[in-house]
């Protein structure tokens, strides 16, 4: 899993977590977006705006509709609670996969390829939200 802040030249990557309520690519993409939202909000003040881009239309849909299938509720409720507590306006946008290359490299643990795209990119590990559930 991976996400990045283009304006900061800062990227994050993680291995896929285990022991989650759902274990498919859609959940991992939603979890990565939720982790990116959590990270962004941990560095911002209440009342700001937040835009997140993903190449997963399914992920855009759940964060736009706030409607999910069983197994995704805890993840979505966690994000909604964060957004409400921080009084943040947020939206998840779709970006074409061919324009999401750095995030794709990070999500596949291909740091070297990400650095070829953005040589000044600093890449750090992150712990996905799901790895903290149930502890």
In a domain, 115, yes or no: yes
Instruction: For residue 66, give its domain range.
Output: 2-126
The pLDDT-based confidence of 131 (bands split at 50, 70, 90) is very low
Q: What pLDDT is recorded for position 130?
A: 61
Q: Note whether residue 93 is domain-resident.
A: yes
In a domain, 135, yes or no: no
pLDDT tens, position by position, 76-113: 999 999 999 999 999 999 999 999 999 999 999 999 99
Helix (H, G, I), strand (E, B) or coil at 109: coil
Residue 132 belongs to a domain: no
The per-residue pLDDT for range 22-70, each reduced to its tens digit, is 778 888 899 999 999 999 999 888 888 999 999 999 999 999 998 888 8
Is the residue at 111 inside a domain? yes
Domain with 45 in it: what CATH number?
A: 3.30.420
Query: Which of these, 20, 11, 29, lies nearest to 131 by C-alpha position?
Result: 20
Distance CA 40, CA 71 (A): 24
Q: Is 39 domain-assigned?
A: yes
Question: Does 133 map to a domain?
Answer: no
Give how many domains the chain has, as a whole number: 1
Does some domain include residue 134? Answer: no
| Half-sphere exposure of residue 83: CA atoms within 13 angstroms, side-chain side | 19
* CA gap 128, 76 in Å, rounded: 14
Three-state DSSP at 110 gives coil
User: In 43-129, at which residue ranges do the beta strands (DSSP E only) sit?
Assistant: 49-54, 89-94, 122-125
């Amino acid at each position: 899993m991976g996400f990045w802040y283009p304006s900061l030249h800062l990227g994050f990557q993680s291995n896929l977590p285990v022991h989650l309520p759902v274990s498919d690519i859609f959940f991992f993409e939603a979890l990565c977006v939720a982790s990116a939202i959590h990270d962004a909000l941990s560095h911002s003040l209440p009342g700001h705006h937040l835009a997140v881009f993903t190449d997963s239309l399914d992920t855009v849909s759940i964060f736009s509709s706030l409607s999910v299938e069983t197994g995704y509720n805890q993840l979505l409720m966690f994000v909604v609670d964060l957004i409400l507590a921080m009084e943040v306006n947020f939206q998840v946008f779709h970006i074409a996969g061919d324009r999401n290359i750095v995030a794709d490299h990070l999500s596949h643990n291909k740091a070297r390829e990400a650095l070829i795209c953005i040589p000044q990119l600093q890449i750090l590990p992150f712990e996905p939200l799901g790895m903290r559930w149930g502890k």
